[in-house]
């Protein structure tokens, strides 16, 4: 609860004169103290600890002695509900109802965040624990499974063919999806017209498109109708269908964040619409566009259903995505995890760990490159501007000093 510090009141003597400094003055309030708004207090920690311990004990009694329930999920869910009820009751003993509701919402938010972090850590730990046995050997990243059988040791064979296949398919899909996605975003945000709404509706519908439908589309049109064989190129087309709406939606949002005053300034200087878009809008939105591209790549690199129907599977190394079957990391994982051999399962989990590393690199890249606001300059750009300014200043000073130097030379 917030309190107000009132200024000290002078104590007067019997005749109305101020009292001399003594015991009465010693009891006067001292200097004002700063109020700390927010943060975690000792009462908060003790309340959470008490609610946690009490709810755990009550949950154990209910599950083990009273109710005929069993199962870890139900135990944890009941524990969480009892914890919230216990925290509310303990809070009512200390604070007013408004503070109790506020702190209860804060506890729910914190616990939800911790739950998400715990689930992610559990997934990473499980995959790393199952796949580290194969991933710790260097041959996993330098060899393919061409000469390795299901009963061979983990020191033989690897996922080099799947790693190269994923990178090539992702590169081709990015080459196809990025220009189309950014062009569609520019059309919806800058050009507009009657077709802007149908295009936006179609892009939003494609965002929720199941990945298996994209694979079936490429299988029916490219492979069956036109007679192309299953290859990395066909898989990249399927990934393009999945990546393009992601890039389009993210790019449209970023382009709309560009201040309209920049467009107006370009038009006032005589620039056309396309010159304004090319020289003003897109350079200003470049960090956000990079983020959109990297997020689309992170979505495409982990897709399994499209490549399952379009790329085919092979244990041999194939560096040509336009000819022959080509395996990727998701397809490698799907094929080896379901086998009844411990070595193959370990290789599948190691490939999953590698795929998680690739996705982590992509998201960190998006965070680093797209962390700036639209129009915000990087440190390199600021240094370049300062260097150019110093050069112009030096050139101006030289131009001013040159007539005086010529005059002095002529005088001598």
Rounded to 10 degrees, the C-alpha dihedral 101/104/109/115 comes to -160
Q: How many helices (H) and strands (E) does the chain have?
A: 17, 0
Residues in the chain, overall count? 412
First to last CA, the chain: 85
Q: How far apart, in Å, are the Cα atoms of 18 and each of 29, 55, 65, 217?
A: 17, 59, 72, 94
Pairwise CA distance, residues 154 & 147, whole Å: 13
d(Cα 212, Cα 303) in Å, to the nearest integer? 9
Side-chain-side CA neighbours of 271 within 13 Å: the count stands at 17
- 133 Cα distance to chain centroid: 29
Residue 392 has a pLDDT of 85
Query: Measured between alpha carbons, how far is 393 from 193 in angstroms, rounded to an integer?
Result: 47
Question: Strand, helix or coil at 381?
Answer: helix
So what's the pLDDT on residue 33?
Answer: 63
pLDDT at 34: 62
Q: Point out the residues of the chain with pLDDT beneath 50.
A: 1-6, 9-16, 23-26
User: pTM of this prediction?
Assistant: 0.74
Q: How far is CA 388 from CA 41, 286, 383, 393, in A?
A: 53, 22, 9, 9
Q: Give pLDDT, residue 305.
A: 87
- Residue-wise pLDDT for 51-77, tens only, equals 999 999 999 998 888 888 888 888 999
């Amino acid at each position: 609860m917030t309190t107000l510090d009132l200024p000290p009141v002078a104590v007067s003597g019997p005749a109305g004169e101020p009292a001399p400094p003594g015991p009465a003055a010693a009891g006067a309030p001292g200097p004002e103290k700063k109020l700390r708004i927010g943060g975690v207090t000792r009462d908060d920690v003790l309340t959470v600890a008490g609610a946690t311990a009490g709810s755990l004990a009550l949950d154990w009694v209910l599950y083990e002695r009273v109710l005929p329930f069993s199962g870890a999920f139900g135990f944890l869910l009941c524990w969480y509900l009892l914890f919230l009820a216990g925290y509310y009751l303990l809070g009512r003993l200390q604070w007013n109802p408004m503070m109790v509701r506020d702190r209860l919402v804060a506890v729910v938010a914190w616990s939800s965040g911790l739950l998400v972090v715990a689930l992610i850590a559990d997934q990473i730990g499980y995959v790393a624990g199952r796949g580290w046995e194969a991933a710790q050997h260097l041959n996993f990243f330098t060899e393919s499974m061409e000469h390795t059988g299901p009963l061979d040791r983990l020191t033989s064979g690897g996922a080099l063919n799947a790693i190269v296949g994923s990178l090539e398919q992702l590169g081709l899909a990015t080459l196809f999806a990025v220009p189309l996605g950014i062009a569609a975003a520019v059309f919806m945000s800058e050009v507009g017209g009657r077709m802007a709404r149908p295009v936006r509706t179609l892009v939003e519908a494609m965002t929720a498109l199941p990945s298996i439908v994209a694979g079936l589309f490429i299988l029916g049109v490219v492979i069956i109708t036109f007679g192309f064989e299953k290859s990395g190129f066909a898989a990249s087309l399927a990934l393009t269908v999945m990546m393009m709406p992601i890039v389009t939606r993210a790019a449209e949002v970023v382009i709309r964040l560009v201040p309209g005053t920049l467009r107006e300034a370009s038009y006032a200087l005589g620039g056309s619409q396309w010159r304004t878009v090319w020289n003003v809008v897109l350079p200003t939105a470049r960090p956000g566009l990079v983020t959109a591209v990297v997020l689309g790549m992170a979505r495409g690199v982990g897709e399994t259903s499209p490549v399952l129907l379009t790329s085919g599977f092979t244990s041999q190394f194939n560096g040509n995505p336009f000819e022959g079957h080509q395996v990727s990391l998701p397809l490698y994982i799907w094929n080896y995890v379901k086998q009844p051999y411990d070595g193959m399962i370990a290789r599948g989990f190691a490939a999953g760990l590698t795929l998680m590393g690739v996705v982590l690199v992509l998201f960190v890249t998006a965070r680093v490159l797209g962390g700036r606001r639209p129009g915000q300059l990087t440190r390199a750009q600021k240094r370049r501007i300062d260097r150019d300014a110093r050069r112009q200043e030096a050139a101006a000073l030289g131009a001013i000093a040159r007539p005086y130097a010529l005059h002095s030379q002529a005088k001598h």
